């Protein structure tokens, strides 16, 4: 379990971390409790690479702004109704550049404190986010 995830870490995450840490403080990695994230081999790999993980529950979508990105992407793809893989890829690219802008991502980030307050108020339950 976790072999594909291990490859993602080695080929994508590690180079990204190396480029970030040259100019910033050490990043903290966020994962939910998916089995591949909790696999022993992955825990060992992250420890060997010095990757620190944030404890994150599997039911914490209210605090993960990536869910907004996936929701937007899904809605736009469903609206376009691509009929082939090539059309799907073009639609994804279009959505990425037309809708998932730096301003959009900044807005999601700016509302994080509101999200946290809502989750605390709901005692970990579901919120409007």
The contacts of residue 72 (CB under 8 Å, 6+ apart) are 95, 99, 100
Whole-angstrom distance, CA of residue 113 vs CA of residue 117: 6
- The pLDDT, as a whole number, for residue 1 is 55
Tokens of 121: 């108020």
Full pLDDT tens readout for the chain, 129 residues = 577 878 878 787 777 776 665 555 666 777 877 788 888 888 888 888 888 887 766 666 667 788 889 999 999 999 999 999 999 999 999 999 999 998 999 999 888 888 888 878 888 777 777
Match 């040259």 to its residue by tokens: 22
Task: Report domain extents, the chain.
Answer: 3-58, 62-121
Please report the pLDDT score of residue 103 as a whole number: 92
Cβ neighbours for 65, distance < 8 A, ≥ 6 positions apart? 105, 108, 109, 111, 112, 115
Whole-angstrom distance, CA of residue 123 vs CA of residue 89:
40
Prediction pTM value: 0.56
Q: What is the pLDDT of residue 61?
A: 61
Q: Is 39 exposed, middle or buried (0-12, 13-18, 19+ CB in 10 A)?
A: middle
pLDDT of 25: 64
């Amino acid at each position: 379990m976790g072999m594909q995830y291990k490859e993602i870490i080695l080929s994508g995450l590690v180079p990204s971390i190396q480029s970030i840490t040259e100019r910033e403080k050490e990043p903290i990695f966020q994962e939910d409790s998916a089995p591949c994230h909790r696999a022993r081999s992955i825990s060992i790999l992250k420890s060997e690479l010095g990757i620190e993980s944030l404890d994150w529950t599997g039911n914490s979508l209210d605090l993960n702004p990536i869910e907004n990105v996936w929701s937007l992407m899904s809605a736009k793809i469903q609206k376009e109704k691509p009929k082939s893989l090539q059309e799907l890829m073009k639609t994804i690219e279009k959505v990425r550049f037309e809708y998932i802008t730096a301003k959009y991502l900044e807005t999601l980030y700016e509302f994080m404190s509101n999200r946290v307050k809502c989750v605390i108020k709901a005692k970990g339950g579901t919120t409007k986010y």
